[in-house]
Structure 1
Amino acid sequence: MPKNYMETVVDYLIPSVLKKYENICTCEKCIEDIKAIALNNLPPMYIVTDQGNAYAKLNEMSSQFKANVIQVIVEAIEKVKNNVKHD
């Protein structure tokens, strides 16, 4: 079954990026909003085979790839922080 590997990467990186912020809501709704915004601004990376999984993991190790994903997550955090959708 195809899987968007980018979702795994975003799930992995969000907690470490959030640790750098103060005064940010980390409720499930806000985290899901951050994740959705980030994923909508990143190219999907669907994998279906072990070879595809190996390629995705290799790509994940690239420092530039990681920096790009972190930048998109930071932008998503700022959007959610400035537009909280709950009380």
Structure 2
Amino acid sequence: MPKRPEEARSERWHEFYRRAWNALQFDRQYGAMGGEMPISFVAYDAYARRYGIEGEAFERFHAFMIAIDTEWLNHVAEKAKEKGG
């Protein structure tokens, strides 16, 4: 397993976003051939409403969640390339 760079160290506040992404990760559309689409804005909005995330806090939440999900989709695409798909 590769060593994690210092700038990628885990912080306590990351856990909030990790839990949110875990709750929302399957709330996405999948293509006919199995490809994953990004998590929808509607899913982020519903999660935020449930947990009272509003205003600037929602903008930050949405930005972080998109960043996390984009990294996930990049990872999935890279794994598919390795398998020849």
- Tell me if both proteins adopt one fold, taking TM over 0.5 as the criterion: no
RCO comparison, higher one (Cα < 8 Å, 6+): 1
Higher helix share: 1
TM-score by length of 1: 0.38
TM-score by length of 2: 0.38
